[in-house]
């Protein structure tokens, strides 16, 4: 027999044992695995085919599902988010929203509410 294996180390492994976790149970979870929190509008309520919502201190009425104006649907289909929002809300509501000096976060809340109301 050859001596070529004499210097090799053989480790015995119990195949019935469970792997040992090297991360302590009390260790904090990685942030990328936690569900992201969605920002909610201050108040939202669906009445008479419209979603009433308050964003940036402005009360807005968003048409629900099939009540969306065709002009708004066309603008959204061409990727014009702001134009679609204006056509959906109407000029008076859109101007009131802009006059409140909203932030991008405020617009994102409005955009999410529009998506929920219109089913997109």
Beta carbons of 76 and 84 less than 8 angstroms apart: yes
What is the structure's pLDDT at 59? 92
Q: How many CA atoms lie within 13 A of 99 on its CB side?
A: 8
What is the structure's pLDDT at 101? 94
Alpha-carbon span 110 to 51, nearest angstrom: 11
Ramachandran angles phi, psi of 52, nearest 5°:
-95, 130
Best-predicted range by mean pLDDT (25-29, 45-49, 65-69, 109-113): 109-113
Alpha-carbon span 88 to 21, nearest angstrom: 54
What is the structure's pLDDT at 99? 95
**Token pair of 16 as six digits:** 């019935």
pTM over 0.85: no
Mean model confidence pLDDT for the chain: 79
């Amino acid at each position: 027999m050859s001596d070529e294996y004499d210097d090799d180390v053989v480790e015995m492994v119990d195949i019935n044992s469970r792997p040992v976790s090297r991360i302590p149970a009390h260790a904090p979870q990685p942030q990328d695995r936690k569900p992201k929190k969605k920002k909610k509008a201050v108040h939202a309520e669906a009445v008479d085919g419209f979603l009433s919502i308050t964003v940036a201190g402005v009360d807005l009425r968003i048409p629900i599902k099939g009540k969306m104006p065709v002009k708004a649907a066309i603008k959204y289909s061409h990727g014009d988010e702001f134009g679609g929002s204006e056509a959906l809300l109407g000029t008076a509501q859109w101007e009131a929203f802009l006059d409140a000096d909203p932030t991008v976060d405020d617009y994102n809340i409005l955009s999410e509410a529009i998506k929920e109301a219109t089913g997109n």
